[in-house]
Structure 1
Amino acid sequence: MGETTRITVTLPTEQVAELKKLTDNVSGYVAEAVARQIRHQLLGADLRSYEDEHGSFSEEELAEARARVAGATESSGGASAA
């Protein structure tokens, strides 16, 4: 993962209980969730920038993108694309 920094995060008690049921590595789980959210936001910004410059995506382009995402998700073992 590289260099790390310790921080304190406050979460609702119910979320912490569910999180501990899912993993023994809470820091790793949270780090992956944060990384996924950052990728999502950066991709959204890139897509908006592209559309601002080139216009809206066509239905054909959107269908091709969805098919590629579905294919990538299937080949990675069904991980969530979100």
Structure 2
Amino acid sequence: MATKKITITVPEELVEAARGLTDNISGFATEALASRIRRELLAEDLRRHQEEHGAFTEEELAEAFARLTGDDEAEQEAA
């Protein structure tokens, strides 16, 4: 993937916290940005799905949570 150098302004506390976790601030920020983009796109997909098919039921939400967390017992209860 091609990269582009940019300048951003970040609160000092976040920079210090990130430096305490990694030596590669650029990579750390890139991963955080990619994660946020994935969450935003997923949220948009879920919103669109609910507009077309109605709100998720409690059972659907419980099953999704179980699948995301690997909680087989909760998934079986949701079924």
Q: Counterparts of 1:22-33 in structure 2 under 5 Å? A: 22-33=21-32
State the distance in 2 between where 1:13 and 1:62 align.
38
Moved over 3 A (4+): none
State the distance in 2 between where 1:60 and 1:14 align.
41
The TM-score, its normalising length taken from structure 2, stands at 0.85
The structure carrying a bigger helix percent of its residues is 2
Q: Counterparts of 1:59-74 in structure 2 under 5 Å? A: 59-71=58-70
Which structure has the larger Rg over C-alpha atoms? 2
The TM-score, its normalising length taken from structure 1, stands at 0.82
Q: 5+ unaligned residues in a row in structure 1: which ranges?
A: 72-82
**Count of residue correspondences:** 70
Identity within the alignment, %: 53
State the distance in 2 between where 1:58 and 1:30 align.
36
10-19 vs 59-68, which moves further: 10-19
Indicate the structure whose relative CO is greater, using CA pairs within 8 Å and at least 6 residues apart: 1
Computed over aligned residues only, the root mean square deviation of the Cα atoms, in angstroms, reads 0.7
